Amino acid sequence: MLTIGIAGGTGCGKTTVVNQIISQLPESEVGVISQDSYYKDLSHLDFAERCKVNFDHPRAIDFELLEAHLRALKAGMPVEQPIYSFVDHNRTRQTVLTHPQKVMIVEGILIMTHPEIRKLFDIKIFVHADSDERLIRRLRRDIQERGRDLQEVLDRYQNTLKPMHDQFIEPTKEYADIIIPNNKYNTVAIDIVRTIIAEKLV
């Protein structure tokens, strides 16, 4: 199994890059795992307390479960991938049965901050976008899709998102095998990744 890690700051366009990579590949042979599914279970906290959690710090992620699931998939075993609710700031009780594929793509802002997780990636990709572009995308997504208000998003960006990006996410660029500037559609980088994957699928 070829395992690809795709990281980058919030709103950098990771999902777009993932979709561009897999758009011309056999659907039955490529799987995607999102770091967002592996936020820790916060059922022991009430909603007001969950709202105060810094979800952009590595300690917000259940890396032990993510590592266990990646190792299981590499061993040919299916896993029950959690489902996370951004509205409730917590895991739901539902899971998604995820089967191992020839290619597994793992995407998330913090996936390359954890040494043991990094070791499981055959290819490490960092998607780069300018900070103002990332803020605009984050504003649009959180307001339209996650029910946040403008002030809440701006406060979170200033108090947690940007400091956490500078401290934890941007430094992981040094671990990347490929850096994709995503301010514009980058056909060369995407085609290189597709070629590597296609060779694996032969």
Q: How far apart are CA 54 and CA 66, in angstroms?
A: 19
Q: Give the pLDDT confidence of 89-105 residue by residue, as tens digits.
A: 889 999 999 999 999 99
32, 105 contact by CB (below 8 A): yes
pLDDT of residue 87: 82
pLDDT band for position 183 (cuts 50, 70, 90): low
Q: What is the pTM of this model?
A: 0.85
In 10 A of CB 10, how many CB atoms? 21
Left, alpha or beta for 176 (phi > 0: left; psi -120 to 50: alpha)? beta
Helix axes 187-201, 14-22, angle to 10 degrees: 50
* All structural domains of the chain with their residue ranges: 2-201
Q: How far apart are CA 137 and CA 196, in angstroms?
A: 29
pLDDT of residue 59: 95
More confident: 172 or 166 = 172
16: nearest Cα among 38, 37, 32: 32
180, 125 contact by CB (below 8 A): yes
Q: How far apart are CA 24 and CA 107, in angstroms?
A: 18
Identify the architecture of domain 2-201 in CATH. Answer: 3-Layer(aba) Sandwich (3.40)
In 10 A of CB 69, how many CB atoms? 23
Highest mean pLDDT among 8-12, 50-54, 127-131: 50-54
Q: Give the pLDDT confidence of 51-82 residue by residue, as tens digits.
A: 888 888 999 999 999 999 999 999 999 999 99
pLDDT of residue 157: 76
